[in-house]
Amino acid sequence: MFHRFLSIAVIILAIFTASVWEVARIEPKLRTADGIIDIYSSLYDVSTGNIAAPVAVSWRLQILVRLMISSPLGGYLIRGLVEKNRVNELVELASAIQDDESDYSGKEYGLDFPIVRLTKEDYDWHVDAAAIQTATTATMTGLVSDAEASSSGKSPYRSVRDYHAAYANKSTTPSAVLQKLLDFIKEKNPVLGCVQEVDYRGSFLAAYASTNRWRQGKPISIWDGVPVMLKPEENIKGLRTTQGEKFKTDGSDIATHDGVLADRFRKAGAVIVATTVMHERGVHPSGYNPFYNGPSNPYDLKRFSGGSSSGSAVAVATGMVPVAIGYDGGGSIRIPAAWSGTVGLAVGFSRFPFQNKNVNINPSVKSGPLAANVEDAAEAFLLLGQPFSRQGDGGGAVHPYTALYGGVGPPPPHLHPRWLNINGSEENKVERGVNGVHRRQPIRIGVFQEWVSHRPTGTGGGNTILDDAVYKTFQKTIQALTTISATDTNTDDGGGESSTPYATLVNFTMPHMSLQALSHAIIVTCSFSFSLLKENFRGLNNRETDDPSDTLQPATEFQLRIGHHITATELLSAMRIRSFAMAQWRNVLAEKVDVILTPTLPMTALVRPNGSDKIGFSDTSLGFQMMRYIWPGNLIGLPGIAVPVGVDSKGLPLSVQVLCLHWHEADCLAVGREIEKMFVDERAKPPPEFFVDLLE
């Protein structure tokens, strides 16, 4: 009887997986015709942009996961799935990389974390730039011009500055804003599904205190009274740090202290209103969580909003808050920003501290703001990016930079891009590049043409990989950046139009893109799987648990079980390739270009599959496609920003991504602001029934 069950199980699994594996299989080969591994091959090596993985929805997903768990062959089948995705070539490439090829300076990069150690010269430059940064505005370096300083210009969204101005002129109060927001949440959240848990008592007290400070004319900062929300991977005292899971019946997920980011918001006077819904454990970038019936995309409720910081993106897109915090292990800030029509800044790895009650440091995850405007992302960056290195700051956290390298910790945040002079307008005083090169504008926009224009014919899930509207808008963005005139900040009068174009296009190439992307997938999957083992999570290790709150969704469990079948050799190989990749990408950004430009995603927001709302769905291949332009920011820790650039013919948001050098988020923000201004007239809010203006 048992063998009969086993045979049936294998047949069912074959039905689920065989055809998908054949369609989705990655074809490029590592070795040349003469059998040599060329580690610097510039040939674009992604033939499908896909990985081999089964696709299952609803009850099919439940059966698939149950068989994977219950069948003695489940582990072998998962291991077979891993081996179909070129892990043998991954190990070969890692073995061919010499130490001096994987380590940019011989000392800069650790194996465990994608952190770049600054030289004293570079560190001092950041200190000088921060020293002249204004404390309460984001007007430096032309990010927001003087004419825009009192409002968000033509943007359809209210900015942090707008809230500050409204409180200052007494047209409203933080308490009135909070009440209007809570009314909107009560009415619309059952449909949108983006808010997980409201801190009614805490937000009322914070808004009341802020209202009193404004009445006395003593606001703490530009953030005083501004409503914000945070993804439930950040501790907020008294609220649940669920990471997208069900509420624990024993209350073990209730945070006993604020994390560093929540603590800094509170100290600045911001009103922390709620936690947002996220994809369970952040294992897929689609963003929908059946446990919470959302979030739904406010532009089209039938579509995904993008994830895993999906609730944070929807909260900003609908006007609930100008800033909400997300976490990004594989595009989880930039992807929902793109599909929900917001700005998403994923700072460089370790720029913002990552710490919740269970995980202190994850080698792929970083934090950042989803914001209404680039200006708001800049304000959040200045507030939350302040360095710390001592225990006791924000619940006993020690910054990973300090933990690894010691000394004074990471550099302070500022808004000065590398190409602007920080030494005033004196003649011949121009800012150096990262390696001491002196130059002026135009800035150099890097584009890997084969990467951004490649159009595979199809996927295992049957989705189009590169939408025409996405590519055409990307080309339009490049055209605009390379034809507008630059603002010359080095003239004697401090400004003025120059005949020099703002940017010039620089083509670059990158070796072994598919194996770099696979390395990211392996590292992030193993990291997430290990985090559950570290917590002794009963839902993964003991299916006989009596507590229903300890059970994972089927798609989550399937994804995490893959990580248990990746070998130590494969993981270490992926990490070695990451070190090699850091050297290659940093060489491009330090020597050849100032920023890299891509579409944020190759497609606009997708319709949720039938049956996925209640049980979920598993499509690892789709997730891999969605991360096509995203993964460098996580594999090697580069800062990146997603900027809205209008909508397509269906009214769905379009977005481009800017990637920049480690510790130079100001570069992303400056170029992102230019792009935002170019497309401000084409940006659209969600339908009126799913948007609120809290200052009206």
Tell me what percent of the chain is helix, strand and coil, each rounded to the nearest 5: 40, 10, 45
- Give the confidence band of 491 by pLDDT, cuts at 50, 70, 90: very low
Q: Does the pLDDT value for residue 320 go beyond 90? A: yes
- To which residue do tokens 């019946």 refer? 249
Q: Specify the CATH number of the domain 120-421+684-690.
A: 3.90.1300.10
Three-state SS sequence of 190-238: HHHCCEEEECHHHHHHHHHHHHHHHHCCCCCCCCCCCEEEECCCCCCCC
Token pair 């006007």: residue: 319
Helix/strand/coil (H/E/C) assignment for every residue in 352-410 = CCCCCCCCCCCCCCEEEEEECCHHHHHHHHHHHCCCCCCCCCCCCCCCHHHHHHCCCCC
CA distance 122 to 128: 10
User: From CA 695, how far away is CA 685, in angstroms rounded?
Assistant: 16
Distances (CA, A) of 112 to 397, 529, 587: 18, 16, 20
Answer whether 387's CB lies under 8 Å from 397's CB: no
Q: What is the mean pLDDT of residues 43-66?
A: 69
Helix (H) or strand (E) holding 439: none
* pLDDT (0 to 100) of residue 147: 47
Least reliable range by pLDDT among 275-284, 627-636, 668-677: 275-284
Model pLDDT for residues 382-438, shown as the tens digit of each residue: 999 988 654 444 445 566 677 666 666 788 999 999 887 665 433 333 343 333 333
Q: Which residue has the tokens 């202290």?
A: 257
Task: Tell me 281's DSSP state.
Answer: G
pLDDT per residue over 150-199, tens digit each?
444 588 999 999 999 999 999 999 999 999 999 999 999 999 999 999 99
Supply the pLDDT for residue 334.
Answer: 98
Residues of the chain with pLDDT > 70: what percent? 75
pLDDT per residue as tens digits for the range 595-627: 999 999 999 999 999 888 887 887 877 888 899
Residue 1 vs residues 9, 68, 74, 450, 474: alpha-carbon distances, Å: 12, 19, 18, 54, 58
Residue 23 predicted with pLDDT over 60: no
CA distance 577 to 181: 47
Residue whose pair of structure tokens reads 């149950």 in the numeric block: 66
- DSSP three-state, residue 579: helix
Between 253 and 439, the higher pLDDT residue: 253
Give the pLDDT confidence score for residue 426 in this predicted structure: 33
Rounded distance between C-alpha atoms, residue 661 and residue 668, angstroms: 9
Domain residues of the chain, as ranges?
Answer: 2-112+510-589, 120-421+684-690
pLDDT score, position 167: 99
Q: Which residue has the tokens 């004697």?
A: 492
3-state secondary structure of 453: helix
Q: Which residues pair with 318 in a beta bridge?
A: none
SS3 303: strand
- Residue 447, H or E segment: strand 443-447
The radius of gyration of the chain's CA atoms, rounded to the nearest angstrom, is 24
Angle between helices 513-534 and 87-96 (to 10 degrees): 110
Kind and range of the H or E element at 49?
A: none
> Stretch 497-517: mean pLDDT, rounded?
88
In the three-class reduction of DSSP (H, G, I as helix; E, B as strand; rest coil), residue 437 is classed as coil
Given the structure tokens 């948007």, which residue do they identify?
Answer: 691
Model pTM score: 0.88
642 to each of 482, 604, 656, how far by Cα in Å?
A: 19, 13, 6
Show Cβ contacts of residue 508 under 8 Å, excluding neighbours closer than 6 positions: 446, 447, 448, 588, 592, 593, 596
**Helix H or strand E segment including 666:** helix 665-678
Residue 163 near residue 177, CB atoms below 8 Å: yes
Q: How far apart are CA 86 and CA 25, in angstroms?
A: 9
CA 299 to CA 310: how far, in whole Å?
Answer: 13
Torsion 131-132-138-141 (CA) sign = negative
